[in-house]
Amino acid sequence: MRTFACARCDQLVFFENTECLSCGAGLGFRWADRELITLTDEFVGPPRCANAEVANCNAFVDAEGELCASCVLTTTRPADAQPEELEKFARAEAAKRRLLFELGELGLPVPSRREDPEGGLAFDLLSSRKAPVTTGHADGLITLDLAESDPAHREQMRVQMGEPYRTLLGHFRHEVGHFYFPLLAPEGSPEVDRCRALFGDDREDYGAAMDRHYAEGAPEDWAERHVSAYATMHPYEDWAETFAHYLHIRDTAQTAVSYGVRVAGPSPPRRVAADAAALDFVPLERRQSMRELLADWIPLTYALNALNRSMGADDLYPFVLPEPVVEKLELVDELVLAKAGAAAA
């Protein structure tokens, strides 16, 4: 994500802020150009999103009582009489806003189901306290079990499922990958043929594949061809896992660029002091080719993991990218950029 600054005092502020912690100026997000706006005595700003309180949404809207471009995509949420579930809902909405910001930065269209009932995107953010909820995607509707907003529950599920990584944002990125597959690789197109050549045939029986996966687990050599064990279940899931990973990389790379983080890999200890002033690292850039980006990304992940270990934490990036996964990421990148270019035109 890009950095933002208070226009009154130039203090760095975060995407989620409603107030500058340095000078106290009010802040609000404007979805039209994805900018954080500073309120001044001369500019009091438009109304806040109707979800300002219930979802901690800091967006501006055109008229009082309206929902912003992110909140309007949520079709179902917990009732106001469920305060504990509303806290989880607010955390889920915060992750969803980050997802939508990145999709906008990449230039991908985000059609709303309210405007396009057949091909639009919508979210059901549901509590599983009284009835089971399955996180997933179906025909443009992304459903999230709000229990995933509870860190303890999420960690329990991560361990139970044998996953190296599990976050709210990761769930959203995976499920939105399913949404974009038919948009980026329509049936009958050369693009879908290329996807099937790399990921496998998505027309394979999904129920049978799921039963096999949970009965037998992932193949022992899964890491040689897939970004995760779950990606081995079905070509449809391989695409979604790879698409989510693509979003992880692009967003983190943009954040690194925005904060001036440049990594070329570790130096031998005896050379660090002598060479530190002379190092001239090439910054990460969002529109690099995927292989060029990965050449910068891998050293960055080593540094991030080393920093986490220095704090006594687990690796921040517990992944390895073999050549078949790199080829899949390249194809996702090509299709995303082609769709973004068509949308801009």
CA dihedral 333, 339, 342, 344 (to 10 degrees): -80
Q: How confident is the model at residue 296 (pLDDT cuts 50, 70, 90)?
A: confident
pLDDT score of 277: 34
pLDDT score of 282: 39
pLDDT score of 285: 45
3-class secondary-structure state, position 99 = helix
Give yes or no for residue 276 having a pLDDT over 80.
no
pLDDT digits (tens, 9 = 90+) for 246-256: 999 999 988 99
**Beta bridge partners of residue 59, listed in sequence order:** 29
Give dist(CA 66, CA 50) in Å, integer.
Answer: 6
3-class secondary-structure state, position 75 = strand
User: In the 8-state DSSP scheme, what is residue 138?
Assistant: E
User: Which residues lie below 8 Å from residue 142, measured CB to CB, with a gap of 6+?
Assistant: 121, 122, 123, 124, 136, 172, 175, 176, 179
pLDDT score of 287: 59
- Beta-strand (E) ranges in 55-101? 74-76
Domain limits, the chain: 185-345
Q: What is the largest CA-CA distance in the chain?
A: 65
Lookup: tokens for 97: 């806003």
| Sign, CA torsion 294/297/299/304 | negative
pLDDT digits (tens, 9 = 90+) for 74-125: 999 999 989 999 999 999 999 999 999 999 999 999 999 988 888 899 999 9
Give yes or no for residue 43 having a pLDDT over 80.
no
pLDDT score of 286: 45
pTM of the model: 0.92
**Average pLDDT, whole number, for the chain?**
90
Q: Which amino acid is at 20?
A: C
More confident residue, 273 or 129: 129
Q: Do residues 114 and 140 make contact, with C-beta atoms less than 8 angstroms apart?
A: no
Give dist(CA 121, CA 241) in Å, integer.
Answer: 19
Name the pairing type of β-strands 122-126 and 74-76. Answer: parallel
